[in-house]
Structure 1
Amino acid sequence: MGRAIALGLPLLVVAEIAVFVLVGSWIGYPWAVLAVLAASFAGLMLLRREGMRAWRGFIAAANSGQHPGERVIDGIVGLGAGVLLTVPGFVTALTGLVLLFPPTRSVARRGVQRWTERRVSSAVAGDLFGPRKVRVRRGAPDVDGAIEGEIVEPR
């Protein structure tokens, strides 16, 4: 993961500069700077809104006895969109804007949830996202009596 970030960050900087030069030559550099500043300001406002929304969703889920994972993940995706908008540049701003639309936000939410489930214990995942459905394969059981299976996302 660290190696991917170390390789991706310089590529992102080069892409941001190239896109800024292209947009600046197309609409003029003062307008391009103004557009980047406007996107960063919108990102700051979005960070504030999404942060409060995520916190309120977590508190509401905890108070009602529901599993807070989905609301927390939705808040994390919204905060990620805000961070991407806040970072100066057109590539990150466009990525942040795309994350605001419900279809892409839903895809990102599922991806973040899967990523989280792989990195925490099954007990923590159950506490966050509710009980997991398990698909059991039939066959000869192991000698210790364990049942081999895989976790399947509910549809």
Structure 2
Amino acid sequence: MGPLGLTAIGAFLLVIAEVVVFVLVAQVIGWGWAVLIGLATMLIGAMLLKREGVRAWRRFRAAVGEGRPAGTEVSDGLTGLLGALLLLTPGFITDAVGLLLLVPPVRALAVRQVRNATERRISPAAAGDLFGPRFVRAQRDTAPAQHTGGASVTTGGAGGTTGGGEVVEGEIVDPHPRRP
């Protein structure tokens, strides 16, 4: 089964879950209150959709205007728009997920996940253009070169990568602090 089929099955199961949750909530608080809460969250979602869209566009334009990579702003904007869209969608499950995506710590986590997923799917050069340069923290190793399955760089005399020479091991360091 392809991705489209799995998406259709997931959407169908979500609709069934939303109906079940709505009926359960309506039995507890009453049908009128359940409908009123559903309409209120849809109205809030519509207002937040406009606010998040304008905010994302301004931050994107500011990053482009300053010559900074706009990937973080795009990821944050998409996460905020998704949260607002989920609030706009009828149902208590989607409302709960939409509200969670608007809470700063959860939103920051979601932005990191969007960024990581994007970086895995595009080339390192494109990721650098989108999210900015990657910095590497390295230390010189005086022991003979050994391949341990991790990444190692062997440098030659003129700084090029050639066989033989010293091994420099390092880790990628994210230069951009996470903002909520």
Q: Same fold (TM over 0.5)?
A: yes
| CA 1:117–1:138: 2 relative to 1, 3 Å | closer
In 2, the alpha carbon distance for the partners of 1:110 and 1:145 equals 35
Among the aligned pairs, what percent are the same residue?
48
Q: Which runs of 5+ in 1 are unaligned?
A: none
Alignment of 1:75-154 (within 5 A): 75-133=77-135, 137-138=151-152, 152=172, 154=174
Residue 152 of structure 1: CA displacement?
Answer: 3.8
Residue 116 of structure 1: CA displacement?
Answer: 1.3
RMSD over aligned CA atoms reads 2.7
1:61 aligns with 2:81: no
Residue 120 of structure 1: CA displacement?
Answer: 2.2
In 1, the alpha carbon distance for the partners of 2:23 and 2:86 equals 19
Q: Which runs of 5+ in 2 are unaligned?
A: 138-149, 156-160, 164-168, 176-180
Aligned to 2:21: 19
Equivalent residue in structure 1 for 2:52, among 50, 53, 72: 50
Residues 78-137 of structure 1 deviation map (CA, whole Å, 9 limit, x = unaligned): 000011001000000010001111110011000011111122222221111001245872
Aligned to 1:10: 12
In 1, the alpha carbon distance for the partners of 2:131 and 2:171 equals 13
Higher normalized contact order (CA 8 Å, seq sep 6+, divided by chain length): 1
Q: Could you tell me which amino acid in structure 2 is paired with residue 116 of structure 1?
A: T
Q: Could you tell me which amino acid in structure 2 is paired with residue 102 of structure 1?
A: P
Q: How many residues are paired up?
A: 152
Structure ID, larger Rg: 2
Residue 65 of structure 1: CA displacement?
Answer: 1.3
In 2, the alpha carbon distance for the partners of 1:87 and 1:79 equals 12
Is the Cα contact below 8 Å between 1:82 and 1:96 reproduced in 2?
A: yes
Q: Could you tell me which amino acid in structure 2 is paired with residue 19 of structure 1?
A: V
Is the Cα contact below 8 Å between 1:132 and 1:151 reproduced in 2?
A: no
